[in-house]
Structure 1
Amino acid sequence: MFRTGKSIAPARNHPPGRDPATDRAPGPPTGRRHTWPALLAWLILIAIAIPLASQRAPHSRDNATVELPRGAESTRVAELTDRFPDGDLADGILIYARPGGLGPADLAKVEADRAALAPLARGPIPAAGRSVDGAAITLVVPLDAKARDGRTPADQARKVRDRARAELPAGLTVRLTGPAGNALDAEDAIESTGRTLTLVTVLVVAVLLLFTYRSPILWLLPLVCVAVALLLSRAVGHLLERFAHLTVDDGNTITVTALLFGAGTDYAMLLLARYREELLRHPTPYTAMRVALRRALPSIAASAATVAAALLCLLAADMGFNHTLGPAGAIAIGCGFVVTATLFPALLVVLGRRVFWPLIPRHGAEPTARRSIWPRLGRGVARRPRLVWIGTSLALGVLAVGALGIETGLDDAHTVVGEPDSVAGQELLAAHFPAGRSRPVRIVADSASAEAVTHALRTVPGVGTPGAPLRSTDGTLVEIRAVLDIPPDSAAAADRLSAIKAAVHAVPNAHALVGGPTATGVDKATAQAHDRRTVIPLVIGVVFLILVLLLRALVAPLLLMATVLLSYLAALGVSRHLFSHVLDFPAMDVQVMLVGFLFLVALGADYNIFLIHRIREEARTRTHESAVLSGLTATGGVITGAGAVLAATFAALTVAPQVAFIQIGAMVALGVLIDTFLVRSILVPALALDAGRAFWWPAHRRPKTADPRKDPVA
């Protein structure tokens, strides 16, 4: 905050850490003659982006394999679905159950539903199948698996569910499961999560910005800019999807939205802090913004480039969700940077100093930053930096111990919070019918080998009698479905799947492929393990290389990467205890470790860049120790505020019903808080102080003054 009531004459001597020549140098176009054309250009761009952002290219709308493991056997089976007569169908399995047995009224209800649902079905609805115990009955409704005439598969499934729930006899339970039920619950969850996440994120960020700036106007500008960046990123994604064949996965929207809200707000806060600082030194907002951009934009650009480059490492991933998240996230970060560098400055200079009302930074007013906690914290760290960094590292190491023995992989019953219809339906099916009835193993083979493959399946213990082979429309392939006698998502089912693969792969010239839900689950786990082995080292290498190029040093990047990795492990350890002992999750979703690592390392490097860039700037006119303390003092408040906003943004993901989003949001939020309040505020300054000028090795940084009497911060 600034004292606005007391003005002082502008000092003749330039403040320590500043370069008058740089301040007078030509900067980005922020003069009066540039601002209004820039705003007009943005209005035109927004008008163009609005219709593009709501579209999706036709070739990807019905792609059901986007999130599956790329090139996996189960994915190849899914890709062959369209070649079979029922390839464009998604069964909606209605299961009716009554403890103690179904009565005449129940059976009449089932038959009435069968007749009423006939107009919705793609083909005849088979006769209802009753369980051996007489307590349950199923009705399989074939529905369109693709969007037609503006109706999605979920729309049709919702009509089926609504009809089944209508006029239900007392005591009779009905659930919709199967592929159509799963699709309906997934769409409902995504829509609900998207709305709730956006609302919660906006409210949380708004409150934090109001608390930070105490202005009834200023808090709105970063949110407006993030909204524009989100709109722009979706429009760019659509254009790349249509003309460059970029694969876009709508399932990434929630994660990308959280990332952009957090990072975009951070960028805006960092520029805003520097702009407010320069308003004290320059008579006009235009001059202040030119200097602020010249001094803050390089670190923001380096930060955005680091996050985007780390995200693009996901292009090496096998898992479809991870592979598509990379470009989507990189596009969003790029759009956030462009908006921060162009639209946000234009809005600020047009509104002038009054945008900070009631705490308006006046030209020549004295800042109160020296009375904040950061100078005292810096001096405390400087007294015994080695003891501080050793103690902090040990504390983080203790937190990281919790990551030992972590278990990954959730069964179907624990992928969502609560009990959606499709999950409850699966449980009813498992209680009254063979466990894998609704999710059979699918084997696709050459049609000439149909009999031999069927015979091979019969030799596998625990596999029900295979159904009759279904021929493809061109007659070259057959699909055979086999039902397991154990839950399809169990560890035993994975072993049974291995036996099935061994049996059918041994059939000569059959070219058999094994797919279905069990095979997909196994292939997902394999793909995620590959991605962790491949992407994590790649991200570490890319981020380290960027830090080396940016800092032109080796020691500093090595120390900074060590702090980031330690921060990640600490967050992983704390998260494991949170998930196991507080939230009662049996394991961690397979996506969490990789996605959490990516965000924490990339965003942790962000804060490293912001802090170290300011320390380098201060080192031009200060001793090394004084530069570290001055950099911490200048950036401590804004980095802490940015970290709080980023943590709150990801914490908003915990409102989602999907356990994967809850775990990603909680882990990233915890990691950002650890990174902000321990690593960036204490550990990194202590390491930099203890290393001395060797921190910049092999670069030689000789301060222009080493006399502490001439250095106000020393």
Structure 2
Amino acid sequence: MPRSLRIVLPALVVLVWLTVAAIGGPFSGRIAEVSTNDPTAFLPASADATAVQERSRDFRDATGVPAVVVLERDGGLDDADTTAAAGIVDRLADRQDVDAVSPVIPSEDGDALEIVATLTASADTGDAVEAVRAVVADALPDGLRAYVTGPAGFTADLTAAFAGIDGLLLGVALVAVLVILVVVYRSPLLPLLVLTTAVSALTASILVVWALADAGVVTVNGQVQGILSILVIGAATDYALLYTSRYREALRDHRTGWDATKAALRGSLEPIVASGGTVVVGVLCLLLSDLDSNKALGPVAAIGIAASVLAALTLLPALLLCFRRAAYWPLRPVHGSAHPVLTGPEARGAWARVGRLVGRRPRTVWVVSTLALLVMGTGLLGLRADGVPQSDLVVGQSQARDGQAVLADHFPGGSGSPALVLGDADRTDELADAVAGVDGVEAVVAAAEEAPAGTVPVGDGPRGGAPVADPTVSRGQVLLEATLADPADSAAAERTVRELRSTVERVDPGALVGGVTATAIDTDDTGIRDRTLIIPVVLGVILLILVLLLRSVVAPLVLIGSVIVSFAAALGVGALVFDHVLGFPGADPAVPLYSFVFLVALGVDYNIFLMTRVREETLRHGPREGVLRGLGATGGVITSAGVVLAATFAALGVIPILFLVQIAFVVAFGVLLDTVVVRSLLVPALVLDLDRRAWWPSRLSRRPRDM
């Protein structure tokens, strides 16, 4: 290749990536424009709660999310409190983001007042609730406490918790990665080149994701947004570490940077593409989910990984070609210098000692390692991953959670968040009586557009009396609202709604039950179903990829078995920490699913880094020497990559969302377990113990032991 082209080509690659970063960078702050944190936006189309949510618009003038204002004074309310509450109603009714406001509702004990303000369907829930809270705070007399809770309040608190996901999360992750890279490489320049590669991959992926979300192709929420940032930074850095390791080796063997680049690309192309492809296929299995939130993460994460692979194989080689040996200053590799001795008594360093341990007692090493992981996995027996109340989604202070507790002290716990029953209009009274007869239901009314309050009493149950208008009928159906005795996100409310569904089905087989509680039930049930389906599919797909990559059946089974045991250990320890150390109320069904997908897919990354090098060395030196040389050559880079990935996922813990905090712990701990125990001890020892049989039925299984 002409010398001029050797200069122009890398410069052109860098210029293209810098242009992409310049265009995509501003979209990092704009992705919130196409994100939503409304729980109903992620329900499957087949869920009852989804159907009721869509049909409820036909029965009400106000179709937005309700915000519940609760006012409380110890020792009883006075006239000034009642006047202030009336003023709040008037001021809220004048707001453009509020569709309807209920009259002031006093509690039976005389210590609290309730106001339900339904937001407009087009309002930004977070901004609208902040405005409502400001209105309420301005109108309060001394001694009167106020809270804005209900579905809108919880959504607003969730949105506020996600507010740091653009700047804080990314900043913490990048600082952690930079510190680790400086310690590992002891170079001021190389870490900056690696981070430039990772950030460029992130901006490119965000640009694509923003365009797809804006076009309605994918649905993005806060958790998808946060996981994308962490996944891309971690994965791109991992792939970059593998390439920089190969490039440093190549600079010892080749005089020119161009020849070293070609050699490094030959050595790293297969493992990086295979690793990235494995993760892409693994996350795309999430498309089998019925939950749109899971479906969204699949293609979004796949886009991020693809960008990471592309940047690691184009931008990073171009940057290193520009700086060559200076990139590793002050420990620059010298052409013609000897490579580190990887095996034998002359080998020095931590990985030489690990190799000698594995080489002396391989069976003892893998048996002890496996037993240790299985003991950690016993924590799975106490895992509670069937859903958590909406009030516990935010870790730390939450006005909506505090307000819900106050509301439950003075009113039926489900006030402002009724269960919705959509049924046959000809059976209105029968349905109403059946609903009222369910334990845990305090009152039943029917939606009525012409009534002053928007509802009318029906049936012979609670809140009887002469209705002021007829229930609204649409397509031959009516919408009943059942106020629950317990908070809408409580386990007791879920039991009531499940009983409610069984009861109304006997009266009207076509009746559907929706609302806040039903949404949580359908989401959790679907999440459990997805987990049961997707985990085996991911295992099967990754096993097939490993068989094709390693040209073997036994070695891939060993690797899959190791990641399963490692995942069980990480989740088991996580369950113990969540229950007995942090006191969490449980976990979302998606926590085990996401943890599995990331740990298995990314754990296989390290398997691929290790085993492709082992296979390469085995072809040259035989099975035993191949394992030990492969371990020595990749031990440092795999450990560094694992520490980087663990640090980036741990950064998710700075976002006060229970789901992300739990994912952060399980994945970070699992990655460290993978790199320190599984890749360093268990897998090499087991492959060494199996000897040539590990490569059956490929030709490696028929080669002599020593060559």
**TM-score calculated relative to the size of structure 1:** 0.89
Amino acid paired to 2:103: A
Change (3 A) 1:81 1:195: farther
Offset of residue 460 of structure 1: 2.5
Matched-pair contact (CA < 8 Å) for 2:37–2:155 = no
Does the alignment pair 1:385 with 2:362?
yes
Separation in 1 of the partners of 2:57 and 2:274? 46
Amino acid paired to 2:436: R
Q: Within 5 Å, which residues of 2 pair with 1:31-46?
A: 31-46=6-21
Matched-pair contact (CA < 8 Å) for 2:17–2:200 = no
Match of 2:479 in 1: 479
Q: 2:143 aligns with which of 171, 176, 184?
A: 171
Aligned partner of residue 396 in structure 2, secondary structure: coil
Separation in 2 of the partners of 1:620 and 1:310? 29
Separation in 1 of the partners of 2:398 and 2:32? 30
Aligned partner of residue 698 in structure 1, secondary structure: coil
Matched-pair contact (CA < 8 Å) for 1:30–1:346 = no
Aligned partner of residue 404 in structure 1, secondary structure: helix
Offset of residue 279 of structure 1: 1.1
Amino acid paired to 1:288: A
Change (3 A) 1:163 1:505: same
Match of 1:91 in 2: 66
Match of 1:119 in 2: 94
Partner deviation per Cα, 1:639-688 (whole Å, 9 max, x = no partner): 00000011111111122211111111101111111110000000001011
Matched-pair contact (CA < 8 Å) for 1:102–1:134 = yes
Match of 1:418 in 2: 396
Aligned partner of residue 478 in structure 2, secondary structure: strand
Match of 2:335 in 1: 363
Aligned partner of residue 352 in structure 1, secondary structure: helix
Match of 1:712 in 2: none
What 5-or-longer segments of structure 1 have no aligned partner? Answer: 1-25, 709-714
Amino acid paired to 1:480: L
Amino acid paired to 1:390: V
Change (3 A) 1:640 1:70: farther
Matched-pair contact (CA < 8 Å) for 2:223–2:660 = no
Aligned partner of residue 93 in structure 1, secondary structure: strand
Match of 1:584 in 2: 583
Matched-pair contact (CA < 8 Å) for 2:62–2:118 = no
Offset of residue 327 of structure 1: 1.2
Change (3 A) 1:83 1:349: farther
Offset of residue 77 of structure 1: 1.7
Match of 1:110 in 2: 85
Change (3 A) 1:679 1:467: same
Matched-pair contact (CA < 8 Å) for 1:589–1:663 = no
Aligned partner of residue 466 in structure 1, secondary structure: strand
Matched-pair contact (CA < 8 Å) for 2:425–2:473 = no
Change (3 A) 1:376 1:137: same
Separation in 2 of the partners of 1:592 and 1:64? 16
Offset of residue 92 of structure 1: 1.9
Separation in 2 of the partners of 1:81 and 1:109? 32
Matched-pair contact (CA < 8 Å) for 2:562–2:683 = yes
Separation in 2 of the partners of 1:582 and 1:478? 48
Offset of residue 564 of structure 1: 0.5
Aligned residues: 676
Change (3 A) 1:30 1:646: farther
Match of 1:279 in 2: 251
Partner deviation per Cα, 1:157-180 (whole Å, 9 max, x = no partner): 111112222363333211111222
Q: Within 5 Å, which residues of 2 pair with 1:556-595?
A: 556-595=555-594
Separation in 2 of the partners of 1:480 and 1:84? 10
Q: 2:76 aligns with which of 101, 104, 108?
A: 101
Q: Within 5 Å, which residues of 2 pair with 1:150-549?
A: 152-166=124-138, 168-241=140-213, 245-368=217-340, 370-408=347-385, 409-470=387-448, 477-508=477-508, 511-549=510-548
Separation in 1 of the partners of 2:268 and 2:409? 62
Partner deviation per Cα, 1:446-493 (whole Å, 9 max, x = no partner): 445444432332332332231123467966543211011123333333
Does the alignment pair 1:605 with 2:600?
no
Q: Which 10-residue stretch deviates more, 628-637 or 576-585? A: 576-585
Q: Which 10-residue stretch deviates more, 678-687 or 341-350? A: 341-350
Partner deviation per Cα, 1:423-460 (whole Å, 9 max, x = no partner): 11111110110111122101123445444432332332
Change (3 A) 1:425 1:242: closer
Does the alignment pair 1:141 with 2:113?
no
Offset of residue 406 of structure 1: 1.9
Partner deviation per Cα, 1:346-394 (whole Å, 9 max, x = no partner): 1121122212222222222344564221122111111111111111111
Offset of residue 209 of structure 1: 0.9
Partner deviation per Cα, 1:233-292 (whole Å, 9 max, x = no partner): 122223444568334445411122221121111111111111111111111222111111
Aligned partner of residue 89 in structure 1, secondary structure: coil
Change (3 A) 1:478 1:57: farther
Change (3 A) 1:123 1:318: closer
Amino acid paired to 1:375: A
Change (3 A) 1:463 1:203: same
Separation in 1 of the partners of 2:84 and 2:167? 36
Match of 1:596 in 2: 595
Change (3 A) 1:705 1:604: same
Amino acid paired to 2:141: P
Aligned partner of residue 621 in structure 2, secondary structure: coil
Matched-pair contact (CA < 8 Å) for 2:28–2:166 = no
Q: Which 10-residue stretch deviates more, 208-217 or 607-616? A: 208-217
Separation in 2 of the partners of 1:244 and 1:495? 35
Change (3 A) 1:80 1:333: farther
What 5-or-longer segments of structure 2 have no aligned partner? Answer: 342-346, 450-471
Amino acid paired to 1:379: R
Separation in 2 of the partners of 1:123 and 1:407? 39
Amino acid paired to 2:95: L
Offset of residue 127 of structure 1: 2.1
Aligned partner of residue 224 in structure 2, secondary structure: helix
Matched-pair contact (CA < 8 Å) for 2:197–2:311 = yes
Match of 2:104 in 1: 128
Separation in 2 of the partners of 1:679 and 1:385? 13
In percent, how many aligned pairs have the same letter? 41
Matched-pair contact (CA < 8 Å) for 2:34–2:220 = no
Separation in 1 of the partners of 2:578 and 2:433? 45
Match of 1:15 in 2: none
**TM-score calculated relative to the size of structure 2:** 0.90
Change (3 A) 1:60 1:652: closer
Separation in 1 of the partners of 2:262 and 2:578? 47
Change (3 A) 1:141 1:490: closer
Separation in 2 of the partners of 1:191 and 1:674? 31
Amino acid paired to 1:699: S
Amino acid paired to 1:701: L
Amino acid paired to 1:146: S
Match of 1:12 in 2: none
